[in-house]
Amino acid sequence: MVVDDEKDMLMLLKRSLEPDLKCHVTTASSAEEALKIYNENHFDLVLMDIKMPGMDGLELLEIIKRKSYDQTVIMMTAFGSIDSAVEAMKSGAYDFITKPFDHDALVLRMEKALERSTLLKENQRLQKACRGHATFQDMVGKSTAMQRVYETIRMVAKNDLTVLITGESGTGKDLTARAIHALSSRRDKPWVAVNCPTVPENILESELFGYKKGAFTHATTNKIGLFQEADQGSIFLDEIGDVTPAIQTKLLRVLQEKEIKPLGDTKSIHVDVRIISSTNQNLKEKIRIGQFREDFYYRINVLPIELPPLRRRKEDIPIIANHLLEKHCEDLNKPIKKISAELMDIFLKRTWEGNIRELENVILQGILFSTTDEIKPRDVGIKKEVRSDTAANIGIEEKPYKTAKEEILKRFNGQYIGHYLKICDGNVTHAAKLCGLERQALQQIMRRYDIKADPFRS
């Protein structure tokens, strides 16, 4: 819905936005008319002017937000009224754009706003649909990227070749490894997981391969290694990138010969183990600097699986957040809570450097610290951010340098000159003096940036 008291503007926006956004545009020429229409319909996005006769845009925004807090609203304001736009942002507006605006810039901003509405709508749908539901082997997500991961898991689970799972910390490498084992023919055999960085090198070797009595001081009995424990099953070497070259050499023998030699023993022992490894490091770079054996790398990387970071699968954030919420409310014996639309909006904008693990920590905080059945930003230590008129806010970060620079200059001149025209009641000569410019110079700038003096005259 587009709300503006200028009927020419309404017709222009309707004619241009419907084909560009491939949507239906409903128009209203006053806040009162818009409110009546809003009460009888659902809108993915509301674009409205701030200054209108009678009820203004800020009043209408406040009423809309009381009715539906997660409604996406973009405010339009004239140059020189940025304070009103900031007030609108504080009141819950998603974005604002200043008149006169570039049509392409408006369309870009509205596309982002519609994307936000779609994700929030999906979140609401999944609140019920995904409660207690694991999408795939305890892995949650329906994005295209994750569907490819699921297909790869199904494929590699059918054979016994070695698998290397790569991805940033917190992306679910452990769950992926467990899914491969659970879908394989070895599912009923042992599953052994080793967190390589937590075990010192001198202990890791004996833990993996075992030792004979008397192999070293304090070796008072024989010890079976983890490879023997995993015989007929699978062993998961988590964060293989932290294993030293000496251990890599011994693991290479296991891969090549299918046998191990416990410390202090003269005989090798045959083992039938499927090896699944993971790392969050760039192993090719470690090979280049001599910290990782190239032959060992190609042995463990027969079947690679790369897990996407959470920021590349944002459409999965609502379903993951709700899955974690359900899981931990049950584990902590807490009543089922829900995530507020405001907090979910913040979730969708974050980059999540710690990926799912970071999201899980925030969810846990929300469950423990929220005093109502709804988790809000303040419950997890997040303050609502009021975006300033920065590159991200005006959508220039995705444009060429010259285009972005021109838009910044247009906005600056509009605000700066608009400020003095307002003070001078639209008198260009007086405004030029306050700006330290000649009248002709100011007029030239006004023509270049399409700044009119008439709106500032009483």
Asked whether residue 64 is assigned to any structural domain, the reply reads yes
Asked whether residue 416 is assigned to any structural domain, the reply reads yes
Q: Which amino acid is located at 298 in the chain? A: Y
Q: 323 and 256, same structural domain?
A: no
Q: What is the pTM of this model?
A: 0.59
* pLDDT digit string, tens, across residues 11-32: 999 999 999 888 999 999 999 9
Question: Residue 455 — φ and ψ, nearest 5°?
Answer: -60, -20
* pLDDT digit string, tens, across residues 154-165: 999 998 999 999
* pLDDT digit string, tens, across residues 136-151: 888 998 888 999 999 9
- The CATH number that applies at residue 57 is 3.40.50.2300
* pLDDT digit string, tens, across residues 92-129: 888 888 888 888 888 988 998 998 888 777 666 655 55
Instruction: Report DSSP state, residue 139.
Output: B
pLDDT at 135 (0 to 100): 66
Asked whether residue 171 is assigned to any structural domain, the reply reads yes
Rg of the chain over Cα atoms, rounded to whole angstroms, equals 31
How large is the average pLDDT for residues 178-201? 92
Q: 215 and 296, same structural domain?
A: yes
Q: 66 and 39, same structural domain?
A: yes
Q: 425 and 362, same structural domain?
A: no
Confidence of residue 132 (pLDDT cuts 50, 70, 90): very low
pLDDT at 426 (0 to 100): 87
Confidence of residue 391 (pLDDT cuts 50, 70, 90): very low
- The CATH number that applies at residue 343 is 1.10.8.60
pLDDT at 123 (0 to 100): 64
pLDDT at 285 (0 to 100): 93
Domain final position from 307, 324, 341 = 307
Domain final position from 307, 340, 370 = 307
Q: Residue 445's domain spans which residues?
A: 399-456
Helix (H) or strand (E) holding 98: strand 95-99
Q: 165 and 302, same structural domain?
A: yes
Q: 118 and 165, same structural domain?
A: no
Q: Cβ contacts of residue 144 below 8 Å, gap of 6+?
A: none
Structure token pair of residue 91 = 């009141």
Asked whether residue 138 is assigned to any structural domain, the reply reads no
Q: 357 and 280, same structural domain?
A: no
How many domains in the chain? Answer: 4
pLDDT at 392 over 50: no
Q: 296 and 316, same structural domain?
A: no
Q: 71 and 167, same structural domain?
A: no
DSSP string, 272-308: --EEEEEESS-HHHHHHTTSS-HHHHHHH-SEEEEPP
How large is the average pLDDT for residues 377-381? 89
Q: 247 and 327, same structural domain?
A: no
Asked whether residue 389 is assigned to any structural domain, the reply reads no
Q: Decide: residue 117, CB within 10 A, 0-12 exposed, 13-18 middle, 19+ buried.
A: middle
Q: 151 and 287, same structural domain?
A: yes
Among 73-82, 162-171, 305-314, which stretch is predicted with the lowest mean pLDDT?
73-82
Among 175-189, 310-324, 400-414, which stretch is predicted with the lowest mean pLDDT?
400-414
Percentage of residues in the chain having pLDDT higher than 90: 45
- CA–CA distance, 127 with 315 (Å, rounded to integer): 14
Structure token pair of residue 87 = 């007030």
pLDDT at 336 (0 to 100): 87
Asked whether residue 97 is assigned to any structural domain, the reply reads yes
Q: Cβ contacts of residue 284 below 8 Å, gap of 6+?
A: 297
Asked whether residue 386 is assigned to any structural domain, the reply reads no
Q: Decide: residue 22, CB within 10 A, 0-12 exposed, 13-18 middle, 19+ buried.
A: exposed
Q: Tokens 């944002």 map to which residue?
A: 314
pLDDT at 127 (0 to 100): 54
Angle formed by the axes of helices 401-423 and 428-435, to 10°?
110
Structure token pair of residue 300 = 């463990």
Residue 373 · residue 400 · CB < 8 Å: no
- The CATH number that applies at residue 210 is 3.40.50.300
* pLDDT digit string, tens, across residues 29-83: 999 999 999 998 889 999 999 989 999 999 999 899 888 877 899 998 876 566 7
Asked whether residue 387 is assigned to any structural domain, the reply reads no
DSSP string, 375-414: E-GGGGT-PPP---SSHHHHT-TTS-HHHHHHHHHHHHHH
Domain final position from 75, 92, 127 = 127
How large is the average pLDDT for residues 288-301? 94
pLDDT at 249 (0 to 100): 92
Q: 446 and 366, same structural domain?
A: no
pLDDT at 90 (0 to 100): 79
